Structure 1
């Protein structure tokens, strides 16, 4: 039996004519993230009747192209899309695109509003016609959002000198190695089996992640140690450990070498079933696995707290799932960059529930240092 309680999402077929690749990519990205109406881009060869057609009018033959398209598709709403208004009466969508009002514009155009009148000769009248594109309620909401826009300073960090950086370094080696802090073992990395054995509680580990520019001590696991038994005691995967350490190290900061303008993409969807919980990770993964995007654009498009976005970027980049598609040249000493947000100021960042899903989940009480492990810890300390 059909479930009639499932809401049906309307599909609107959109045809782009004369629109350049950059604008097309921006519109396609926006359409993918909009759920109220399924805006679907089509091609003339698809043999599908478009409901909405955007014709770029900024080219030399823009107005002529609009006239031809209107003749070819008399039943469609053919929109003149440009920085300057047309010399004739037509539905008009002004450039540049603003994602916060784009869909209200499209909705109004589909309802027959937003029409530019060719006989307007006074600038004030023209401005009044432009204001018709957005209804009064939406305009008030938009004005309120403008007051909430703010300049946000994004602080960047480097992994060198951090516990995260040391674990990443040891993960690329072949020898089983322990990391010590103040002559006390913190954890042991087993690269051959891609596992980590914790020697401290998760709270202490989280505090150690805040240490920077530390000369971490390392010590190879003694050759006489029963390696197989130690491997069995190590329940935490190397990837899950790096993921968690990344979140604790980032703390709402942007990992170097990524900048707010660097174009990033998710190479592969990370298996988060055994990873520490990260708010909005599913939504961010679904977006980035399909669409390369820079941080400043990603933040404008998704209603996600900046802290969650930056922690996600750090975690996925650290485990190798996030790749840089288009790097930008910046000074290596640059640690901060300001960017002005163009969306409504986010709600207070949701505190990560990582503590409930931390590495200690993977280390049961019976695996705490004792017996064989306690003796090994003593040898690593030099006792």
Structure 2
């Protein structure tokens, strides 16, 4: 959307936190401007001297629409009320309602077009995924390259870059990649995004450039991923629940993989788990415990894991991609396996009463 068409918002007073939240929530739909250029005012009615500020706005701009935010129901004439806490969609909906009253139809039409394109793209993706519904829940799809994907082309790559910037500085960061903003809180190792897993999984099925071009005709603009510090944001500013940074990256990588291996890992290459992932808190479909046991015990290839467990290799590849994104995979370079079968020396040992839990799991797997 052109900035010339976007409605202009002013937030009077010195509420930097509210300014930051509005920026994150409305993104490209509206512009924040100085008082004399604004079409709409947003005021925090719970702020200090809010009533005095409201009187001043009405004197200087008697016909300008005002959106009032408050924790409690308030009665003010000619004010559109929005109860706190509010979600991005709540604020956007109120802004759309107000904008209808001030003769800016192009903005509303353009925004509806973008929303329609977004919904159409998601529908196309989900329709394609229906053909593989038995495995789509875990991100397995029918891409043309059945072996590898490039994490840098997906949300996974951008998310890792945002994590690095946020952790290095210790400052809250916001990432935008033509989707809902992702807020990263490095000090508590949490992430906030205004989307459920269904919407996140749909977004993860396409490379970022492909998804962006559903919404932007300009190829240069479509390539942009914005990562910027937001030092004024805190967890109280983000409605809804937070997620662990590791758990969020784990499922993003699993869904981005689409049943493929990340570039740099071959299907016949020896790899090993450095340590067990926290499978009690991560997205974990069937056979995760068995895969962890085999990959932690000794170096094996992805194909060997698939053969021992008698499962689709794509399920193994998805698990390896998620573990690799968290740095849990140790690659044994230049040692591909000549045979897809485990040798006698690598097969799990028989069960004995004094054998540990891990070996008992492996023994049971081997007997299947």
Q: Greater helix percent: which structure?
A: 2
TM-score, normalization: structure 2? 0.44
The structure having more radius of gyration, on CA atoms, is 1
